[in-house]
Each structure stands twice: as structure tokens, then as C-alpha cells.
Amino acid sequence: MTIDQNELQVFNLINQERSNAGLSRLSWHLELDNAAEGHSQDMGDQDFFDHRNPNNGLTSGERATAAGYQGSRIAENIGAGYTTPEDLVRGWMNSDQGHRETILNPDLEHIGVGYYYLPNDSGSVNRQHYWTAVFGAGDPDPGDPNPVVPDPGNQTIPLGVAPKSFSHQLNRNGSERVYSFSINETSSINLNLQIDVPIVGVGQGIGDDANLYFYEDTNGNGVFDVNNDQQLASSLEWRNSDDGINYRATPGTYFARVRAYSTGFDGDLDYNLDISATPISPGAYDAPNLISVPTGYQVDFDRGWHWLLENSVGDSDTVDTYAFSVPQPLGSDTYRANISLYPESYDADIRVIQDLNNNDIVDLADEVFKYSNNWGTTPESITDIPPGDYFLQVYQYSGNTNYEVSFDLRRVLG
């Protein structure tokens, strides 16, 4: 684990209080930080507020030892409900329950700070913000007197290149990971979250569910702050369904937040996140290039040969993706599909995709099977689609528009 912006502020504020009292500064210590972060998350996820974890019985000293700290002295402050580091440290310094004495203890040398935010905190202990500071002395590792927040890893996603892909694991309900990136011209930012469900392994992947959130770096500091950065979009698909976001964004820094809703049967959730940026007013070969099919966007010709669907595309949803399959030939007869799009007020275009390498990315030139990109609100049409598995993308060319799209299957007699 590493120190984040909130934890660094607590570290600096505590050392400022010690300096004001003429005491030596504390050094940041990795093992104490791991113990502190783990306890803050446990308090939030396991619904308690105490120095002793009621579920495993561990005390602050036992947690520090388990994390690898070898010192002989341990102290701990905890807090809940404080929304800022300043309020937290002010509360501790004004406390009559030993928090101030711990901060100003001249015998302590090291500190680790853990902050955990649980936005949908619905337990009996409903504080949302959980803080832990673990203090120690006697470990041979001197620690770091001047820790810094790691580089958030912002990366400009060039237009027209393959998406950036990230594969990670979450192992607690409510645990999360945040990805930071930037664009230098107005683009469609495309996100696709896929839950990995192994083919083998009893229970693996069963019940896994993660949600996807998209934020703007509102204050421009390059550090994700769930309390201040503006959430622009979210995708809350059920269980193992893919979560997708496609959003027209201006130049700047943005964050993708992956949060575990349920880690399922085995307690681990493996996922892959793809991120790309594609041009606005795109042509058929540079439209949003991630394939994410929401629940209810599957056209099943086994249930009916004619489908008429209504939806919309625009700045907050630059593309809709539908899955459909044209049946294989029946004897000497075969099947063909026709698709028509009727934009209502602004220009939207369509293309049919075959994901030949099954990676949920349009990354091969011949994966664009057919397209239609007439001007304005002129209807679009793609006809004579042969048997096979396909995706239809309806994508924004200009403005925000409602639309109707029809799928029709016909049988061609041999």
C-alpha cells in the first residue's frame, strides 16, 4: 500500500502539531501504514468502530505485528465521520480521550495513516469516512521522513491507437481502484469493464459484481478526491455483465473508478478495464472502439424476426452497442438481416462489427463489416447481412438525438 493525498495531509498535520510542541517529527512507516489502511477498511466494511476488531479479535499491536512492524511500542488513534484531514486532526487535538497525548508522545518515532471512504454506508455504524493512525517506536527501519503521493500515472490516450488495458483484482466488498488519465483534445472517452469469470475452479467468479464510475478532475490537482471531483457518468450493470461508459469530454484529466459491489463465492473479483479516446464526429473506422453491450441490448431473432427499438446517443452516451446473430442456413435456404436507423434531430451513424479476436475491442480493420453514414437525419441502412455473430453500433456524429433502429431477418429460399 502507498500513501494517498488525504493520508499525507494527516501525516503533515500531526507533524505540524508535534513541531509546534517542540517535538521531533514522525517518519512514515510502510508496515504501520498497511496496518492502518487495513483497519480503516475493516471498520467500514465490517460495520464497527473500535480499536479491537470484533470479528477476529485483533488489537492495534497485533495488527502492526502481523503487518511486519518490529517495534516495541504501538499506539493508535481512530476517527469516523470526519470529512477532511483538518477536521480529523483538530478533533483528535481537542479530544480528552488520549488522542492528543498520543500525537504529542515524545517517545514515538513512526506513523502510518489509513483512510477509507464507504459512500453507500448502510450499517449500524454509518459514518462513511474511516480514519486510523498507527504510531510506533523501536523498529530498525527508520521509515521515510518525507513521503510523497505517488505519481498518479496520468497518461494521454492518443487518438486512433489501441486502448489502454488494465487487469487487477479486488478482494473485499466495497474495495476499489482508481485510474487516472488525460486527453489533450475533445474526444469520446470510452470505458469498458469486464468481469473475468474463469472456466475452471469451483466457485470462482460466481456472484462477482463491480461498478464503473467516471469523474472529472474538477480542481485540477491530478489526485482523485471522491468528495470534490465531479462524477460525470456511471455504469451499474448486474453481476458479470460488462459495464460501459462513452462520454464526450473536453481536454483535461479524468478518473475511472472500479468498485467491487460483490466479490462473490470465493471472495476475489478479477477484472479487465479498457480505456480509449476516439475522435468526435467520427468516420466509420474511428468511431468509439470498445464493445460493451448493456443488459437488454441483445436482439434475439429466435424470439422474433422484426425488432424496433428506441434509444438515444449524445454527449453523455456517444455510442449504443447491440448484439445480434443471423442464423445459420437451414438446408438449401439461408438467412439475411437488414438494419435501418432513423435519427430524430441530429446526425447519428451505424456500423456492423464482427469481433474476430473476441477481445471486445474494434482493433482490426476488417472487423468493421459494413457501415452507413449519411448526412444529417437521413435514415441509415445496412442490408444483406449473412449468417454470423455481430454487433451494431449506433454512434453520435453531432448533437444529442433520439432514434429508432429496426432489425429485420428474412429467409432466402434456395
Instruction: Please tell me the predicted confidence (pLDDT) of residue 207.
Output: 67
Query: What's the one-letter identity of residue 162?
Result: A
Query: Cell 464526429 appears where?
Result: 281
Name the 3-class secondary structure at 313: strand
Query: Cell 495488527 appears where?
Result: 63
Closest CA to 214 of 272, 169, 275, 151: 275
Q: Burial, 354: exposed, middle or buried (Cβ in 10 Å; 0-12, 13-18, 19+)?
A: middle
Asked if residue 350 has pLDDT above 90, the reply is: yes
Residue 334 to residue 329: CA distance in whole angstroms = 4
**Phi/psi of residue 6, nearest 5 degrees:** -65, -45
Question: Is the Cβ–Cβ distance between 34 and 112 less than 8 Å?
Answer: yes
Asked if residue 205 has pLDDT above 60, the reply is: no
Query: Cell 451513424 appears where?
Result: 349
Instruction: Please tell me the predicted confidence (pLDDT) of residue 148.
Output: 66
Instruction: Please tell me the predicted confidence (pLDDT) of residue 363.
Output: 82
User: Which residues in 391-403 are b (16+ Cβ under 10 Å) and which e?
Assistant: bbbbbbbeebbeb
Percent of the chain with pLDDT strictly greater than 90 = 63
Q: Flag the least confident range among 36-45, 82-91, 237-246, 279-288.
A: 237-246
**Grid coordinates given for 89:** 486532526
50-104 tens-digit pLDDT: 999 999 999 999 999 999 999 999 999 999 999 889 999 999 999 988 999 999 9
Highest mean pLDDT among 140-149, 150-159, 261-270, 384-393: 384-393
Instruction: Please tell me the predicted confidence (pLDDT) of residue 83.
Output: 87
Q: Flag the least confident range among 47-61, 160-174, 184-198, 268-282.
A: 160-174
Asked if residue 1 has pLDDT above 70, the reply is: no
273-297 tens-digit pLDDT: 999 999 999 999 999 999 999 988 9
- Work out the number of other CB atoms within 10 angstroms of the CB of residue 207: 14
Instruction: Please tell me the predicted confidence (pLDDT) of residue 90.
Output: 96
Question: Which residues have CB under 8 Å from 329's CB, separation 6+?
Answer: 335, 387, 414
**Phi/psi of residue 277, nearest 5 degrees:** -130, 125
Instruction: Please tell me the predicted confidence (pLDDT) of residue 91.
Output: 96
The rounded radius of gyration (Å) of the Cα atoms in the chain is 26
Q: pLDDT confidence of 197, banded at 50, 70, 90?
A: low
Asked if residue 117 has pLDDT above 90, the reply is: no
Angle (nearest 5°) at CA 324 between 398 and 405: 40
Q: pLDDT confidence of 200, banded at 50, 70, 90?
A: very low
Instruction: Please tell me the predicted confidence (pLDDT) of residue 335.
Output: 96
Query: What's the one-letter identity of residue 132?
Result: T
Closest CA to 71 of 28, 108, 106: 108
**Grid coordinates given for 127:** 459514518
Closest CA to 244 of 272, 264, 279: 272
Mean pLDDT for all residues in the chain: 88
306-347 tens-digit pLDDT: 999 999 999 999 999 999 999 999 888 899 999 999 999 999
Residue 274 to residue 193: CA distance in whole angstroms = 7
Is residue 404 within a helix (H) or strand (E), and if so which, with residue range? Answer: strand 401-412
